Amino acid sequence: MSAILRKRFLEQILVMFGREPKKPEAISEPAQQIHLVKRTSNKEKLQAAAAHAEAHMNTSHKWRNRRWAVLVLVNLFFVFSFYFDIQILEGALTASRFIGFHLIDLNAALQVMLAHRNIITNLLIGTGTVLVLWILFGGRSFCSWVCPYHLLAEWAEKIHLWLVREKLVTDAPVDRRLRTVFWLVFALLAVATGYTVYEAISPTGIVSRALIYGPGVAMLWVLALLAFEVFFVRRAWCRYACPIGLTYGVVGI
């Protein structure tokens, strides 16, 4: 690995754990145009923002629609396998079995082993296929192409941005390093309590199980999260709290 690639890899790791991205040494032409807009008057800024919003509305959302379709189909596969007792895909996103092959979410496996304070061979085997899969496709692909909460958070973000445009709410900034803090907190809680605390409150697991087995009281927690993201901090859970995204992000680098 060349020195440039090593430096880039290290920078990606640091950004993943919360450090602010560095500005590139050479500023591209589109970036220069953006900086120029920032230095213009408020009226010109508003006109530029309106033009950008209009251009975005006219942009094709082909890949976004494909991503949503894949996400829905993956989760429906779990639902149909359970309701029709197909037994091809059993379980939920956190832990499942596909045609006899055990598939276990990397973060869930880590939480369980930390809670038991022991390396569990079966969990390592179950994570092997998942690990290879997300190395090939890119770790964060799980978030946007598979995670059901991610889709709900995207819809909540659209509402939040509309409220911001109408000046009904403000977008509160949050320190990016907070997600590393939450990752460590959930890991330490698992070790200290012997219980997978994160799995009990994970909106990914809650929504996945609700789709398959029916909603329970835990969905109130998910609704509270979405309400917080609509009125206060957009994509708060995914950006600043979810250890799954951080774990898969490191895997996919």
Provide DSSP, 95-141. Answer: EEEETTEEEE-HHHHHHHHHHHTS--HHHHHHHHHHHHHHHHH-TTH
pTM beyond 0.85: no
- In angstroms, the CA 204 to CA 143 distance is 9
Q: What are phi and psi of 32, to 5 degrees?
A: -60, -35
Q: Is residue 96 in a domain? A: yes
Q: Is residue 180 in a domain? A: yes
Q: How many CA atoms lie within 13 A of 215 on its CB side?
A: 8
Q: Is residue 58 in a domain? A: no
- Residue 163 is part of which domain span? 64-252
Q: Number of folded domains in the chain?
A: 1
- In angstroms, the CA 3 to CA 189 distance is 38
Q: Are strands 101-104 and 89-91 parallel, antiparallel or unpaired?
A: unpaired
CB-CB contact of 106 with 239 (8 Å): no
SS3 91: strand
Q: Is residue 48 in a domain? A: no
210 secondary structure, DSSP code = H
Q: Is the dihedral of CA 226, 246, 138, 53 positive or negative?
A: positive
Q: Is residue 88 in a domain? A: yes
- In angstroms, the CA 235 to CA 240 distance is 8
Look at residue 202 in the predicted model and tell me its pLDDT. 95
Look at residue 67 in the predicted model and tell me its pLDDT. 94
pLDDT tens per residue, range 39-94:
665 556 555 555 555 555 556 688 899 999 999 999 999 999 999 888 788 899 88
Q: Is residue 55 in a domain? A: no
**pLDDT in 10s for each residue of the chain, 253 residues:** 566 656 665 666 666 566 666 666 666 676 666 666 666 655 565 555 555 555 555 566 888 999 999 999 999 999 999 998 887 888 998 888 888 788 889 999 999 999 999 888 888 888 888 888 888 887 778 999 999 999 999 999 999 999 998 889 988 888 888 989 999 999 999 999 999 999 999 999 999 999 999 999 999 999 999 999 999 999 999 999 999 988 888 876 5
- In angstroms, the CA 93 to CA 213 distance is 13
Based on DSSP, count helices (H) and strands (E) in the chain, helices before strands: 14, 3
Look at residue 69 in the predicted model and tell me its pLDDT. 95
Q: Is residue 27 in a domain? A: no
Q: Is residue 155 in a domain? A: yes
SS3 235: coil
